[in-house]
Amino acid sequence: MSEAPFKLHLDHPRETPLGAPFEVSGWVAAREPIKAVGNGGSDTEWLALHERSDLRESHPEWPHLVGFAGKLGSGALSGDSLALELHWGETKTIHPVYLSPVSPPPDHLQVRQVGSVWGDRFYPAGREMFDQIAGVFAAADYPLPQAKRILDFGSGCGRVLRSFAEVSHAGEIWGCDIDGESIAWNQANLGHIGQFYTNPTEPPTTFANEYFDAIYSVSVFTHLPEDLQMAWVRELHRIMAPGGRLVPSFHGEHYWQKDPGVAAEVKETGFAYRTGEVTAGLPDFYMVAYHSIEYIHDRWGPWFEVVAHHPRCIDGAHDAVALRRR
């Protein structure tokens, strides 16, 4: 059997990326000088090469060894296989690296978080929402990946939070939810990404004062009655560091204009709450709430200043608002 002409090791990703572009890093060794490592599905995306002197002693049989790092687009992926194009000496080849597929959470936990079973689309859809939320933070001059402590308030089974597994970030990640079963699932399956906490249905939490500098929340304030959500607004203010950012989603005009009765109430008071069928595993009060942006300015104003409003920003449906802690 002939000896392999090169050796490639992939540090990241280990699992199939949820979206693109995605970060790629690792190293490759060969008998001849390594000239390029890039996207095997495109000739326009190349990774940066750098010295890996830390590996020289452990791989003396390879005269040429370099690290690679950067981002690649979706063209590099085919199912759960990552195609890397390698150039060394006068040789070019496309080398497949097989990745572990990302398994979605159990169906009943998906239903609790999103109302239906999304299957293999559960986490990729969450990655799209993550990018939208990160865009809101960035537009508010507060890059989410640079935050020291980040909280996904109402994380469910990690639909959005799971994206931190493939996005470089500087701080610690937390997820909290009233659904203890989802939190237990996260601890068992997403514990390598962050820490998780089952919060009570009413404040306070056990988090210290001014602990987080970035908090986001998808589809939580869209379901709480007014007195309970205002209690949580005060609690999020307590646990947020001075000058920190809160980005929640809410049912804006796109939703409340569909029902004349709801629209009339929101136009008059800024808020409406409607009851209906209870979702198995969730409290009876977890129904449907609607807001106007004027209501957020007025009622949330003592605790948070509105920096920007992004209608239909989250998944083309929910509004998002960037808030600065007062």
**pLDDT tens sequence across 208-259:** 999 999 999 999 999 999 999 999 999 999 999 999 999 999 999 999 999 9
The H or E element that residue 77 is part of is strand 77-78
Q: How confident is the model at residue 1, as a pLDDT?
A: 43
How many CB atoms within 10 Å of residue 31?
15
Which of the 8 DSSP states describes residue 151?
E
Q: How confident is the model at residue 206 (pLDDT cuts 50, 70, 90)?
A: very high
Closest CA to 303 of 246, 220, 219: 246
Closest of 319, 318, 317, 324 to residue 300, by C-alpha = 324
Sign of the torsion angle spanned by Cα atoms 323, 122, 165, 69: negative
Structural domains of the chain, ranges and CATH numbers in brackets:
6-98 (2.60.40), 107-325 (3.40.50.150)
The pTM of the full predicted model, rounded to 2 decimals, is 0.89
Confidence tier at 276 by pLDDT (50, 70, 90): confident
Q: What percent of the chain has pLDDT over 90?
A: 89
Across the chain, what does the average pLDDT equal? Answer: 94
pLDDT, one tens digit per residue, over 147-167 is 999 999 999 999 999 999 988
Work out the angle at residue 100's Cα, subtended by the Cα atoms of residues 52 and 175, and round it to the nearest 5 degrees.
90
> For the segment 125-142, what is each residue's pLDDT rounded down to a tens digit?
999 999 999 999 999 999
pLDDT, tens digit, 9 for 90 and up, residues 3-39: 778 999 999 999 999 988 999 999 999 999 999 999 9
Q: How many C-beta atoms lie closer than 10 Å to residue 51's C-beta?
A: 10
* Residue 321 and residue 248 in contact, taking contact as beta carbons nearer than 8 Å: yes
Q: 162: how many CB neighbours lie within 10 A of its CB?
A: 28
Positive or negative, the CA dihedral 238, 209, 160, 171 is positive
pLDDT tens digits for range 309-325: 999 999 999 999 999 99
pLDDT band at 278 (very low <50, low <70, confident <90, very high): confident
Give pLDDT tens digits for 46-71: 999 999 999 989 999 999 999 999 99
Quote the CA–CA distance of 290 and 271 in Å, as a whole number. Answer: 6
